[in-house]
Structure formats: C-alpha cells, structure tokens
Amino acid sequence: MRRRVEYWLFVLLMAVLRVVPRAVAFGIACTLTRGFDRLLPRLRRVAARNLKLAGFGDRPEIIGGVFRSIARLLVTVARFPLMNSGNIGEWIRYEGFEHYEEAKRRGRGVLFATGHLGNWELSAFAHGLMTEPMSIVVRPLDNPWIDAWVERRRAMSGNRIIAKKDAARLILRALKANQAVGILVDQNSLPGEGVFVDFFGVPACTNAAFARLAAHSGATVIPGFALWSAEESRFVLRFFPPVAVTGELVADTQRLHAAIEQIIRQYPDQWLWIHRRWKTRPEGDLGFY
C-alpha cells in the first residue's frame, strides 16, 4: 500500500510539473526539495560532512544548490514526453562533441563515464534525440511502479535500458557494435566489489568494473555531464577529453576519478553531496557517517 501511495503521488507531481509553465514547475519542484531538506535533516548532515571531507569546509550555499539541481532534474524528467528533435535545443546543447565523433571513428564503441552531477537523466535522453540512441546502465529504483514509469520515460528518445544485473554481457555487445553506453560511476561500492582510489583526497571504494570493461573492449572512455548554465538558462552536455585506459585496474580507476573530481570542483553545487560517497572504509578505519 505504501508503494502504491508513493507511486500515485509521484505520478500526480510529474503531471503537474509537465503542464504548468516551466518557471512555475521549477518553483513547485524547489518547494518540494526544500521540504525534503527539512523533513530529512540527515541529508544535509551527510552533505555537510562530505563537503568538509572534500576540503570545501562549511558551505551551506553548495548544499542549497544541490537541492535546486534536483528540482531542475525533476522538472526535466516530467517534460520528457514534450521533447523531440525539433525542440531539444531549448533544453540543452553540446560542447566537446568532437571527442564523441573521434571515438566513433575508432570503431570500438564509447563508454560514457557519468555520475550524479548536473542532470544525469537528461544527458542520455537528449543524446538519443540529438545524435543517436545509446544504452544506459541503471539500478532499479526501490519502488517497482515508479521504476517502471521512469524506465518508460528514459526510453522515449530511443535509448536502450540495461539492468545492472545483466550489464556486462549487454555492454560488451553494444560496444562491439560501436555503440555508446552510459554508466554512473561516482557512487560508493560495497566491500569486495570495488577498489580504493583517492577522491578529493580521501580513499573512496569505487567499482572497478567500468575500468575492466573499458580495457577488455578497447572502447573510448569519455566523461560526459549535462551541466546547468545559468547564463543560457539551459543545460550544456559537455563531453570531456577521453581518459586513457592501460589495463591496470586501480590506476585506470584512479585516473578516471581524478578527471571526474576536477569537473565536480568546477560545478560543486550540481553534484549529489547528499550521497554517502565515503561510506565503505578500508579495514580498521572508522566510519565517517
């Protein structure tokens, strides 16, 4: 019953955000995310702890920016059915597209290393409309009805959904066909599933499967994020220079996350600091949260 109530409240919210003027929709979404901030104070505590760990100090304005970034994401997802190849430019434009073009010429596929920075839902959706459909690796949401709703929206631009449990085989098949695959790589990994690399100067347990797939396939690894531009009042889908892959698992994972860290430093209020990124600790270390 709780899941059904959550689902219908979510569907109602998405319907409202879809039909009202965009500025009004953003105001509603901001009110909602501010409510989450107040009702779930542990989220702000986690964000404050993460910012201090990362060397930013006490920065409440960054935390506020995180909730506004989530609000923009909600509005965007609600309006996916209204987007098409003719109007997608009102929402987002490319920057660094030449990196993708060169990767396609190599013919070994493209691995987009992305994360919870900016609008990760729009980045893949828009690429499917502006260039060609791609595959995206997702972890199912806890509520199966909301998960099914979101998956239908994600596929509206022609993208193919790969469930995390079936990922390796389908990813390699897509790369062999010189297709693009997007994977979120910035979350904490459980003990035994990842390797520890330096992230903002703190050891972070990170899934090494991405680096393993990149080395095995020979695909080009491109960090890519849909970043909000206040000056343009739209997102910029930025493709950064490819990250070298040598086959050394830990070194490749470290190199990738060093690149992602530099991007987050440029847009700190658009990264999901409310996630317990440093939850898994090396043996003998005390927990941070």
pLDDT at 94: 98
pLDDT at 244: 97
Confidence of residue 191 (pLDDT cuts 50, 70, 90): confident
pLDDT at 165 over 90: no
Confidence of residue 18 (pLDDT cuts 50, 70, 90): very high
pLDDT digits (tens, 9 = 90+) for 19-67: 999 999 999 999 999 999 999 999 999 999 999 999 999 999 999 999 9
Name all contacts of 58-65 with Cβ < 8 Å and 24+ positions apart: 59/268, 61/269, 62/268, 62/269, 62/273, 63/37, 63/273, 63/274, 64/269, 65/268, 65/269, 65/270
pLDDT at 164 over 90: no
pLDDT at 289: 94
pLDDT at 100: 98
pLDDT at 22: 96
The pTM assigned to this predicted structure is 0.94
Residue 31's identity, in one-letter code, is T
Average pLDDT, the chain: 96
Instruction: Compute the distance between CA of residue 282 and CA of residue 192 in angstroms, rounded to an integer.
Output: 11
Instruction: Compute the distance between CA of residue 51 and CA of residue 232 in angstroms, rounded to an integer.
Output: 28
Whether the CB-CB separation of 49 and 30 falls below 8 Å is answered with: no
pLDDT at 198: 97
pLDDT at 193: 86
pLDDT digits (tens, 9 = 90+) for 210-258: 999 999 999 999 999 999 999 999 999 999 999 999 999 999 999 999 9
pLDDT at 146: 96
Residue 166's identity, in one-letter code, is D
The token pair at 242 is 């490819």
Which segment of 69-73, 172-176, 209-213, 285-289 scores lowest on mean pLDDT?
285-289
The token pair at 213 is 């797939």
Which segment of 3-7, 13-17, 164-168, 224-228 scores lowest on mean pLDDT?
164-168
